[in-house]
Structure 1
Amino acid sequence: MKNILIDCDPGHDDALAIIVALANPQKLNLLGITTIGGNQTITKVTENAKKLLGFLKAKVPLAAGQSNPLKRSLKTAPEAHGDTGMDGPFFDGTTYPLSDLSGVDFLYEKIMASEGTVTIVALGPLTNIALLLTNHPEVKGKIGTISLMGGGIDHGNYTELAEFNIYVDPEAAEIVFQSGLPIVMAGLDVTEKAEITVAEIKALQGKGRVSQLVYELLSFYNESGRQFGFIDSPIHDLCAVAYLLAPEIFKGTYANIHVITDESLARGLTYGDFRKSASKFKPTLVLQEVDRQKFVELLLEALRYLDAV
């Protein structure tokens, strides 16, 4: 069983990643969740996390992280996720407790107190993780892997060259990618292939309490995705959790990843040297292919489990 911590900015696809992690307690020991300003402000994404965890009757500790990137003001994505950051479903007002610790301190305490190593699942801008590694370098010995959603070798989405999570805080991303830790990068190269179809979304309606929630989440998300040219819906963040559960459904290549941090048009771009003649220092597995049907089945299995319990 893997010990994991999820750092996220819910977010429709963040919500699905959390749902699938909670539905696999035999494989993933979820030690806690932290939030980060990204898809929406830290206040809104933390409220979304509280609503989701309350709805799911979870017993996972939650802490709010950084509100802003390391060096710039926060860019949010209301065009993709709505004004709340997770528009679509109706929540019944269930409350959920929030830790008094800051997100970075929370991550540090959970990692250092854990038996064995911890995998960090990073689903938003990497500010919390960069601060953790910078302020507490001793945690590196306790981190087994960082499985993250971010970047793209072939193209961007927030700009032509940069993916949103990386663009929001490229300085933090460069710190993380150059930390020397093993990283699994689920960037746009693979996440845009991890789609759920319109028919598969519609089939969730009325299936069960959690399936209905996911239907409502994905109905909004699918509609908002049309403006970006998508007919079906890539579930980006779920890839970072799915890899931990079923690495065999993915294919990728190792590289040493860097991030452009200057003020040029390439700000936020992730690039790697894939040449065979390059340095052997290639700590990042860049995911490039996914078995879409098995990916969707992994989600559906999680929903069947949660609907039943």
Structure 2
Amino acid sequence: MVKSVILDCDPGHDDAMAILLAAGHPDVHVRAITTVGGNQTLEKVTRNALGLATLAGLNVPIAAGHEAPLDRPLVTSPEIHGESGLDGVTLPKPTMDLDPRHGVNLIIDTIMESEPGTISLVPLGPLTNIGAAVQKEPEIVSRVAEVSLMGGGMSVGNATAAAEFNILTDPEATSIVFSAPWKVTMVGLDVTHYAQATPEVLDRIRAINSPISHFVNDLMAFFIQSNLAEQNFAAPPIHDPVALANIIDPTILKTERLPIVVETQGEYTTGMTLVDRRPWITSLTTTHVATEIDVERFWDLVIGAIANL
């Protein structure tokens, strides 16, 4: 079954892989791409999104959203993604114009103009645009099929000991998203840390021997070095495509319905996603947590999409 999705992203090396997965998988219909300040500034990640869409032949509306979190200054991640947000590669000149709408309005318009239950939201960066869209037009909550977001973790952080980068960047927006009465799956570090671009995976990608596979090889060469230097991963986790894989084939992940709250004011724990495992509480929630991943099937999905492109 073809799934219609809106990608909300901050490209970003792993965002780039998610966009390629979306463009190359036959069961994904990308309805729109919106950008948000996160891995790099809004201007840079928007330029990256346009270039990636051009590279992948993805002709869809692309709009720039919020440049900073709802209530905080923006903190970017050049140590992981470089000064451009996509260091290590050269993107083609975009063949499409940026949609004149604000990203939040593009999200709302796309959902409201579609049949209820037909659009899934796949946020891959800070949740600023999604939280703002819920605030501006609450009716989208009942019309979205589901939200599969990359962020958080049950017991692990990466930006701090307690918090994952996307959630730490805008915990207030995250709280809005988790509190809304729609199906939300938190695809966090508990599973994405296992989705590593190992030498074996990269060998399979290089064997495709296409312009896209060469691009991915160059993309990963930089990402390997930055992740090794900053987080001591010999093979970098490719976080963002896992959230999209959950929409394409939900059996790739094991998930549990569990309540999630976001810490917004802790001295050491701001951005922490606190998962409530008390069994008598779970029936009251619409939030889900990814707990296990079939890594081999995940990479089959991604590599197949790259080959299709």
Query: Shared topology, TM-score over 0.5?
Result: yes
**Which runs of structure 2 are paired with 1:1-309 in the superposition (5 Å)?**
1-25=2-26, 27-117=27-117, 118-205=119-206, 207-227=209-229, 228-306=231-309
Instruction: Say whether the 8 Å CA contact 1:38–1:165 is kept in structure 2.
Output: yes
Partners of 2:283 and 2:21 lie apart in 1 by 34
Structure 1: gaps (5+ residues): none
- Return the offset for 1:92: 3.6
CA distance in 1, matches of 2:287, 2:232: 29
CA apart distance, 1:277: 2.1
Q: Which residue identity does 1:37 align to in structure 2? A: G
The one-letter code matched in structure 2 to 1:42 is L
Report the alpha carbon displacement of residue 200 of structure 1 after superposing the two structures with TM: 2.2
Contact kept? 2:9, 2:34, Cα under 8 Å: yes
Contact 1:201 1:219 in 2 (8 A): no
Contact 2:8 2:125 in 1 (8 A): yes
Cα deviation, 1:26-49, whole Å, max 9, x if unaligned, reads x22211000000000000000000
Q: TM-score, normalised by structure 2?
A: 0.95
SS state at 2:34 partner: strand
CA displacement at 1:196 relative to structure 2? 2.0
Structure 1 stretch displaced more, 56-65 or 88-97: 88-97
Does structure 1 retain, via aligned residues, the 8 Å contact 2:127–2:167? yes
List per-residue Cα deviations over 1:84-137 (Å, max 9, x = no partner). 011111224344310000001111111111124211000000000001001101
Rate the CA distance shift 1:279–1:231 in 2: closer, same or farther, 3 A. Answer: closer
Does the residue aligned with 2:206 lie in a helix, a strand or coil?
coil
For residue 229 of structure 1, report the CA deviation from its aligned partner: 1.2
Segment of structure 1 superposing worse, 84-93 or 11-20: 84-93
CA shift digits 1:264-299 (9 cap, x unpaired): 110000011112122521212211111111111111
**1:254 and 1:274 in contact (8 A); partners too:** no
- Offset at 1:263? 4.7
Q: What is the alpha-carbon distance in structure 1 between the residues aligned to residue 113 and residue 265 of structure 2?
A: 37
User: SS where residue 114 of structure 1 aligns?
Assistant: coil
Query: For 1:282 and 1:169, how far apart are their aligned partners in 2?
Result: 22
What RMSD over aligned residues (CA atoms) do the two structures have, in Å? Answer: 1.3
1:2 partner letter: K
Give the secondary-structure state (helix, strand or coil) at the position aligned to 2:8: strand
Alpha-carbon contact 2:259-2:281 (below 8 Å) kept: no
Q: CA deviation at 1:58?
A: 1.7
Residue 15 (structure 1) shift: 0.8
Segment drifting more, 192-201 vs 169-178: 192-201
Q: Is the 8 A contact 1:51 1:96 kept in 2?
A: no
Distance 1:183 1:278 in 2: 16
Shift of 1:153: 0.9
How many aligned residue pairs are there? 305
TM superposition score normalised by structure 1: 0.95
Task: Give the letter aligned to residue 170 of structure 2.
Answer: D
CA distance in 2, matches of 1:122, 1:166: 11
